[in-house]
Amino acid sequence: MYIGITWYILISHNGEILYGLIILIGTVTGFALSNFIGKIIDKYDRKKLFVLLNIIISVSFLIIFLSLIKYIKLNVSVLFILYMIISVYSIFYWNVITSITQQIFSINEYKSINSKMEIIGQASAAFSIIGGLIIYSVNFLFIIIISSIIFAVSAIIFRNVRMSKLEKYNRDYSGFSSFKYLKNNKYLFILLLSMYTPFIAIIVGNYTKPSFIVNDLNGTPIIIGAMESIYAISAVITSLLIPKINEKNEFVLIIISMVVFSAGTIAMGFFKIVILFLSFDAIQGYGNPAIRIIRKTIMMKTIPKNIIGRIYGSLETLSYMVRIIFLTLYILIIRYTGAGILIEIQGVFVLLSVLAIVYSFKKVITRS
């Protein structure tokens, strides 16, 4: 669905600016909700929350599908609503899944499970090129109703998952400040936030890369779909290999992954050749999942179970703040600079964060 929303907005009048504004609104919404969502996830039954979330999304897509058939035409307003639904779902999804994973599994299983979750998350994206073909040959309504069915099935399947009961929300933590916790654990805070930078680059790239494809590479939905598929396939392969790497080599893996990701991102914005662009996208598909798996594993090992939702929410809030700054700036200057140089800036941004990781990693691991 993301491919369809992206394509239809970008080919509309002033699509590049409009698409940027929609992503910015979604990002500001994430900034406003992340910390609040973290509190909800720590307070209530996480399994019930996840099932309810999937039911709400499924029903929302069904209502939009029926409305498009009977009452309205597909337009930018509808695309905006669809994008916002997906955005809010994503805010909930990654936090609640991280919290549930920590709750269900033992500390020795975290890396392996995070790798498997990454594979599951990327599996559907691996077929995005097919989505690009469907947009050309099938009505977009088909994609909406299929999405509704998928979320409904997800709710049914997860409802049957058995989970150990977590200690009820501790009233002593009702006034708990996640930001204060991060301040008191500054090395952990610096490490985790620095390891967010590839993810921030990918999310900001959701604006710059499609724009680069449409305006610099003269691409089609098929190219956008190919980009998503190649990234996902690379991410799946990476996720299969990460659990096999000894924890003693994690520091080297983080540094190599960050540097390779940076180099690929800088080169991506420099060369205006489709095959090279897709090759550098595969490099991003290696770097971001590798860092994310290790980052989430470190979080699960170092942060108590009954507060991880709020800590995750606070880190997401800070991540959204950085994204808002980049997106606002990029929307203002993209018509003058083009998307290529903005992609390169993201690569430099990630490269600079390597210094912070070198500074903080060993101190965090030693303390934990």
In a domain, 169, yes or no: no
CATH of the domain at 67: 1.20.1250.20
Name the most confidently modeled range: 212-226, 236-250, 271-285: 271-285
Please indicate, yes or no, if residue 125 is contained in any of the structural domains. yes
Q: Can you tell me the distance from the alpha carbon of 146 to that of 150, in angstroms, rounded to the nearest whole number?
A: 6
pTM summary value: 0.76
Q: Which are the contacts of 326, defined by CB distance < 8 A and separation ≥ 6? A: 200, 204, 346
Is there a domain that residue 54 lies in?
yes
> 321-325: which pairs have CB atoms within 8 A and are 24 or more residues apart?
321/31, 322/196, 322/200, 323/27, 323/30, 323/200, 323/203, 323/204, 324/24, 324/27, 324/28, 324/31
Neighbours of 306 (CB within 10 A): 18
Give the per-residue pLDDT at 275.
93
Which comes out higher in pLDDT, residue 44 or 287? 287
pLDDT tens-digit series, residues 6-24: 777 877 777 778 888 888 8
**Is 243 a member of any domain?**
yes
Asked if residue 170 is part of any domain, the answer here is no
Q: What CA–CA distance (Å, rounded) separates 24 from 7?
A: 17
- Better-scored residue on pLDDT, 94 or 348: 348
> How far is residue 132's CA from residue 125's CA, in Å, rounded to a whole number?
11
Q: Which of 141-145, 168-172, 210-214, 296-300 has the lowest mean pLDDT?
A: 168-172
Task: Put residue 252 in one of left, alpha, beta given phi > 0 → left and psi -120 to 50 → alpha.
Answer: alpha
Instruction: Say what percent of the chain tops pLDDT 70.
Output: 88
- Does 86 score more than 60 pLDDT? yes
Please report which residue ranges of the chain form alpha helices under DSSP H: 2-10, 15-43, 46-70, 76-104, 110-123, 128-137, 140-159, 178-184, 186-194, 197-215, 221-241, 250-270, 274-302, 308-337, 339-367
Residue 172 lies in a domain: no
* Residues contacting 110, CB < 8 A, separation 6+: 101, 102, 296, 297, 300, 301
> Exposed e or buried b for every residue in 68-93, given b needs 16+ CB within 10 A?
beeeeebebebbbebbebbbbbebbb
Q: Does residue 256 or residue 120 have the better pLDDT?
A: 256
Band (75; pLDDT cuts 50, 70, 90): confident
137-155 per-position pLDDT tens digit: 566 778 888 889 988 998 8
What mean pLDDT do residues 260-285 have? Answer: 93
Q: Ranked by mean pLDDT, which of 179-183, 246-250, 258-262 comes out on top? A: 258-262
Give me the pLDDT at residue 172, please: 44
Average pLDDT taken over every residue of the chain:
83
Residue 35 lies in a domain: yes
The boundaries of the domain holding residue 313 are: 2-161+177-367
Domain count, the chain: 1
Please check whether residue 167 lies inside any domain of the structure.
Answer: no
**221 confidence band (pLDDT: 50, 70, 90):** confident
Average pLDDT over residues 187-216: 90
